[in-house]
Structure 1
Amino acid sequence: MASTAPARLLIDAPGARSVTYAQAEETTLRLATALRQMGLVPGDRVAVQVRKSPEAFLLYLACLRGGYVFVPLNTAYTLAELDYFLRDAEPGLFVCRPEQKAESEPLCKAAGVERLETLGIAADGSLFDFARDLKGDPACLFDGQPDTLAALLYTSGTTGRSKGAMLTHRNLASNAAALVEAWRFTGDDKVLHVLPIFHTHGLFIAGNTVLAAGAGMIFPDHSDPAHVIAEMKRATVFMGVPTHYTRLLASPALTRDATSSIRLFVSGSAPLRPETHREFEARTGHRILERYAMTETVVITSNPHDGERRPGAVGFPLPGVSVRLSDPASGAVLSGGEAVGMIEVAGPGRFVGYWRNPEKTAEDIREDGFFRTGDLGRIDEDGYLHIVGRAKDLIISGGYNVYPKEVESELDQLPGIREATVVGLPHPDFGEGVTAFVIPLPGAHPVEADLLSQLGKRLANYKQPKRILFVDEFPRNALGKIQKNVLRDTHRDLYEVRTRT
């Protein structure tokens, strides 16, 4: 890692916290040694729920170098949610924030997690205290095969609990190499990194691509639009979710001059509205490059670096990736025309399966190796892929996946509620706003603010409804199934109206 350009900054961070490639190599060796001395062996899971920092990213790299399976967890997860992930992943080590240690200890004990360490945003905490004076031992580095597991990321579905997607070293390395080629990355690039690092986008798509190119990234100390725009003068690439772009457009500081140093703006994790695409180009002169990715595959397709970047399209398959459409009901592969079908993907970046869930793995990965994404799409006459919807009711809000069933289950447990259903409605800031519809019990008069307050104790903030609407009945089909499409169509302007007023 340090041999090509040891003095080059890998992470440009505020104050004296920047990290060169040479420092990254030395620190990750010490961390890998520390993990081995703590009793971990290659293949053990390391679950991490900490705030973004240079040290948190170095811990990820140390796990890769030491042969441990990195399990990043959203910092917004509640204790109830965290309990599930620890029991399911069965990590040998859980790393949490220092202030979280007391409440995490009983969870670790109940889940059988043998080791608990802490890591703060200023390199404080027990993990770095343990590793700080160690001498790195190269014998503690991983020398296994590329098909060994590297990471376990939990991905949302529309029903049931989150599933752990198993990604190998080959999966991650091949996708990073393909992105370096597709997006023309070089060692001179600097990514303005405003994304979380518990998510595929910030950890793999941004972080791994920077590493594969020998480039650098800027970790700004503030995420407000004015500060981010000011930092653009020092960067060459910006990656964000649609919410980032709508918030940038709301700032008068976003101008052609402010963005003149950026050669590439990338958007993903949720659909970018064509209106946002066009407004951004009018303000800055830049056409955003939209791409398509999933936790199970990392990046699948991308609009071209050189060529037309079409609003509403997610481009072409990356080098080495195959994409096809199939009939959602029969599974028959579709050919020709612009028929809408289930998007299926094959290639070196495709995950190897779901953690301890062979039934779901067999259901989603076909015998010929193609993964059924659950998304519906079409391929136009020029070969651009367009995502037209989801086969299930998954909500993507601010770049995060939210499955309605989990929110509905929490609502159903609250007093005064007869039945609840949850949908995603168009939202100018978040792409989709989580929206709940509730039928109260006879004689009950639940209050929206009270219900939202109670949900705040049970659900991560991005899963919480933006609104709860009370209705007498739900629209249903002849079999009694709730027609969520009718609710979406009827209330699709809910947040647009609120914005205008």
Structure 2
Amino acid sequence: MTDNLFELFRSRFPADRSRTFIEVPGGRAVSYGDLEAMSARYAHALAAAGVRPGDRVAVQVDKSAEAVVLYLACLRAGAVLLPLNTAYQAGELEYFLSDASPAAVVCQPHRLAELEGLAVAAGITACVMTLGATGDGTLPERAGGLAETFTTAPRGGDDMAAILYSSGTTGRPKGAMMSHANLGSNALTLHALWGFAPDDVLLHCLPIFHTHGLFVAINCVLLNGSAMIFCPKFDAEQAIGLLKRATVFMGVPTFYTRFLTSPNLTPEACSHMRLFISGSAPLLEETFNAFREKTGFTILERYGMTEGGMFTSNPLVGDRRAGTVGFPLPDVQLRITGEEGQVLPRGEVGIIEVKGPNIFKGYWNMPEKTKAEFTGDGFFKSGDVGVIDERGYVSIVGRAKDLIISGGYNVYPKEVEDFIDRLAGVVESAVIGMPHPDFGEAGLAVVVAEKGAALTAEGVIDALKGRLANYKVPKQAVVVAELPRNAMGKVQKNVLRDSYAEMWKASLQ
């Protein structure tokens, strides 16, 4: 008996394997039979490339049906999937490769030479291949003609299935190790909690390099043995047109704000839908209310993070309350603690701590960091500040780790500041999150220049483009003589937010 996540999924595949799994608008459909055969061939190809159970496979590819097949092939081969944002640049990628030491790297065709060079620079020996083009070196070419059956590698529940990197407050990205049991338990809970039924169809518009699009959305579909409409990217008008063929939609708040700007978002357009879910960033109460008024549907907001998938959810049946993320999942314990680690009563604000079968195994190659992030009784310190009200609803009221969530993506200011501080003419910098009508939040860089340096705000932003993923690049910068500090010398980011609030508002008008 194996605890390999793929076998859990396969046990839920429809008996009729000709049923559709993925439909790409304007493209071909992939059936469950195709999925089984293609993932077997890809698993054989990975094994032939030298990938063994427990090895990491780094994947930086465009969203496609083949990318989902590759995810399942990694599971079948017993490999550890390392999904990477397609926006990551060379400096970021070199760190991931050197830290994770993958046995194989699958990338976009136009980045093949770059990734081969980065692998050498990182000091690793990895098979580097592409997914989306023709040629002998591509994964599809390597898989062509190989057997359409594959004996799934036995894996224990605690064996790693994926490593997901997120930036840290120290600037050094950290890899959250997710096991087969972590992913399987969370998928089973969400599948049941959100009432998935055999005829459900998911409209999938999310990227698939992070938890929301890859594990929350796709895993629920696989457990359901049903179909999803798989859009390469989010386009509000296209998505509204596809709602009539779907029943479930998962999105970030930015998707909903863009929906609301369309005259085509009507109750009739949503009449075939069963459920709208939002996550990855706080949903404004105005958006929540406006969507309900315009469509008749109440968005279900939930809360989680890379280190454990989902922690809470508003109810499927019951009162979904604006400004809250609902109740802890049935198999998750959640508590609010104070500065001394004491558990606080309902109504008091403190740090959110969670415990459950979905919580990750720790940070890759960071035993001390892992130890510091868990309490003595096994609770993970989320770093988010929250409160539980008298009815048991959880609300997120702040973030202790200075995180910026821009368009659903996590941006850690320290990482961006490290890049800025290395620019010629820069003494130091502070990056703060400011409210943005489309992205929820966006970064503002406040930069101290060296005396006499010809440093401009535009120059700072231009220098970051191409060095950082676009979503991490601040929308604006200002050059100043010094940063405000408290008596202990700590930069007062709250003062910066207040100081530039009017300038920021004016720039958005």
Q: How does the TM-score come out when normalised to structure 1?
A: 0.96
CA distance in 2, matches of 1:23, 1:104: 30
Specify the alignment match of 2:38 in structure 1: 27
CA distance in 2, matches of 1:123, 1:313: 50
CA distance in 2, matches of 1:113, 1:227: 43
Residue 43 of structure 1 pairs with residue 75 of structure 2: no
1:209 pairs with 214, 220, 223, which one?
220
CA distance in 1, matches of 2:382, 2:327: 16
The Cα of 1:385 is off from its aligned counterpart by 0.3
Cα pair 2:351 2:384 within 8 Å, conserved: yes
SS of residue in 1 equivalent to 2:153: coil
Once the two structures are superposed, what CA deviation does each residue of 1:236-292 show, in whole Å capped at 9, x if it has no partner?
111111111111112221111111111111111111111111111111111111100
The alignment-based identity, stated in percent, is: 54
The Cα of 1:341 is off from its aligned counterpart by 1.2
CA distance in 2, matches of 1:495, 1:190: 41
Greater CA drift, 404-413 or 8-17: 8-17
SS of residue in 2 equivalent to 1:152: strand
SS of residue in 2 equivalent to 1:331: coil
Specify the alignment match of 1:224 in structure 2: 235
CA distance in 1, matches of 2:372, 2:35: 40
Structure 2 matches for 1:77-96, cutoff 5 A? 77-96=88-107
Specify the alignment match of 1:349 in structure 2: 358
The Cα of 1:492 is off from its aligned counterpart by 3.9
CA distance in 2, matches of 1:85, 1:106: 14
The Cα of 1:14 is off from its aligned counterpart by 3.0
SS of residue in 2 equivalent to 1:22: helix
CA distance in 2, matches of 1:401, 1:221: 21
Cα 1:493–1:173, aligned 2, differ >3 Å: closer, same or farther?
farther
CA distance in 2, matches of 1:67, 1:467: 44
Cα 1:121–1:219, aligned 2, differ >3 Å: closer, same or farther?
farther
Cα pair 2:183 2:358 within 8 Å, conserved: yes
Which one-letter code corresponds to 1:377 in the other structure? Answer: G
Residue 322 of structure 1 pairs with residue 333 of structure 2: yes
CA distance in 2, matches of 1:7, 1:232: 23
Specify the alignment match of 2:5 in structure 1: none
Specify the alignment match of 1:432 in structure 2: 441
Specify the alignment match of 1:331 in structure 2: 341
CA distance in 1, matches of 2:169, 2:232: 35
Which one-letter code corresponds to 1:489 in the other structure? Answer: D
The Cα of 1:475 is off from its aligned counterpart by 2.0
CA distance in 2, matches of 1:397, 1:464: 10
Specify the alignment match of 1:403 in structure 2: 412
Runs (4+) of structure 1 exceeding 6 A deviation are 121-125
Once the two structures are superposed, what CA deviation does each residue of 1:364-389 show, in whole Å capped at 9, x if it has no partner?
12222210101111000000001111
SS of residue in 2 equivalent to 1:368: coil
SS of residue in 2 equivalent to 1:452: helix
Q: How does the TM-score come out when normalised to structure 2?
A: 0.94
Cα pair 1:428 1:495 within 8 Å, conserved: no
Greater CA drift, 155-164 or 77-86: 155-164
Which one-letter code corresponds to 1:37 in the other structure? Answer: A
Residue 181 of structure 1 pairs with residue 181 of structure 2: no
Which one-letter code corresponds to 1:331 in the other structure? Answer: G
2:144 pairs with 132, 138, 142, which one?
132
Specify the alignment match of 2:244 in structure 1: 233
Specify the alignment match of 1:376 in structure 2: 385
1:102 pairs with 113, 136, 153, which one?
113
Once the two structures are superposed, what CA deviation does each residue of 1:137-172 show, in whole Å capped at 9, x if it has no partner?
433x21222221100000222222110000111111
SS of residue in 1 equivalent to 2:335: strand
Specify the alignment match of 1:412 in structure 2: 421
Cα pair 2:64 2:232 within 8 Å, conserved: no
Specify the alignment match of 1:449 in structure 2: 458
Greater CA drift, 456-465 or 209-218: 209-218
Cα 1:349–1:16, aligned 2, differ >3 Å: closer, same or farther?
same
The Cα of 1:16 is off from its aligned counterpart by 4.6
Specify the alignment match of 2:206 in structure 1: 195
SS of residue in 2 equivalent to 1:107: helix
Give the gaps of 5 or more residues in structure 1.
none
SS of residue in 2 equivalent to 1:353: coil
Cα pair 1:186 1:214 within 8 Å, conserved: no
Specify the alignment match of 1:276 in structure 2: 287
Cα pair 2:36 2:148 within 8 Å, conserved: no
The Cα of 1:330 is off from its aligned counterpart by 1.4
Specify the alignment match of 1:119 in structure 2: 131
CA distance in 1, matches of 2:31, 2:261: 35
Residue 262 of structure 1 pairs with residue 273 of structure 2: yes
The Cα of 1:65 is off from its aligned counterpart by 1.6
CA distance in 2, matches of 1:43, 1:318: 30
The Cα of 1:15 is off from its aligned counterpart by 4.0
Cα 1:221–1:160, aligned 2, differ >3 Å: closer, same or farther?
closer
Cα pair 2:256 2:287 within 8 Å, conserved: yes
Once the two structures are superposed, what CA deviation does each residue of 1:288-320 show, in whole Å capped at 9, x if it has no partner?
111001100100000111111111100001121
Cα 1:52–1:125, aligned 2, differ >3 Å: closer, same or farther?
farther
Which one-letter code corresponds to 1:131 in the other structure? Answer: A
CA distance in 2, matches of 1:225, 1:369: 42
Once the two structures are superposed, what CA deviation does each residue of 1:97-138 show, in whole Å capped at 9, x if it has no partner?
111111111111232132111111799961000102111343
Structure 2 matches for 1:295-310, cutoff 5 A? 295-310=306-321
Cα 1:51–1:123, aligned 2, differ >3 Å: closer, same or farther?
farther
Cα pair 1:425 1:491 within 8 Å, conserved: no
Cα pair 1:426 1:493 within 8 Å, conserved: no
Cα pair 1:9 1:19 within 8 Å, conserved: yes
The Cα of 1:496 is off from its aligned counterpart by 4.1
Specify the alignment match of 2:3 in structure 1: none
1:459 pairs with 448, 465, 468, which one?
468
Which one-letter code corresponds to 1:212 in the other structure? Answer: L
2:160 pairs with 132, 140, 149, which one?
149
CA distance in 2, matches of 1:148, 1:318: 23
Cα 1:180–1:421, aligned 2, differ >3 Å: closer, same or farther?
same
Give the gaps of 5 or more residues in structure 2.
1-9
The Cα of 1:445 is off from its aligned counterpart by 4.2
CA distance in 2, matches of 1:78, 1:125: 23
Once the two structures are superposed, what CA deviation does each residue of 1:21-62 show, in whole Å capped at 9, x if it has no partner?
111011111111221122211111000000000000110011
CA distance in 2, matches of 1:383, 1:375: 17
